[in-house]
Amino acid sequence: MRPAGWRGRLHAYLAEVRGRPFRYGEHDCALFAAGAVAAMTERDPAAELRGHYRTLRAGLKAVNAAGYIDHVDMAKALFPAIHPSQARAGDLAVVESESGPALGVVGGPMVFVLRQEGMAQVPLMAAAEALRV
């Protein structure tokens, strides 16, 4: 459930992290998406993971220890899957990246994603699936 003012908090969050460098365990796709959820809902679904890994492999190990295959599997356990055509601002999207499936934040017809060089956008229709927040 998104409390009143969620849209403004989401915009503020995206502006805040726009120039933040990609770092596993601090600002990677999973934590970026979880940060957006926290901004909108005031509940951070990845609070227990933040700062507890520094590599992709260690991040996957932490997610596996929590009972999930990967970060996308964890997000799917928390949020219902929807077709990308049904996604609205603030929902999460699953997109392909160089290192496998990644999470992004829907911002209308585009999805905000993280890459090694920073935040980027990809078309929503490039998403394999979406998750309702």
Could you tell me which CATH number the domain at 6-131 has? 3.90.1720.10
- Tokens at residue 21, please? 């460098």
Confidence tier at 67 by pLDDT (50, 70, 90): very high
Confidence tier at 116 by pLDDT (50, 70, 90): confident
Q: Exposed (0-12), middle (13-18) or buried (19+): which is 76, by Cβ within 10 Å?
A: middle
Which pTM was predicted? 0.93
Q: For the chain, which residues make up each domain, given as ranges?
A: 6-131
Per-residue pLDDT at 54: 96
Confidence tier at 10 by pLDDT (50, 70, 90): very high
Taking alpha carbons only, the member of 23, 18, 78 closest to residue 52 is: 23
- Render pLDDT for 41-57 as a digit per residue (tens, 0 to 9): 999 999 989 989 999 99
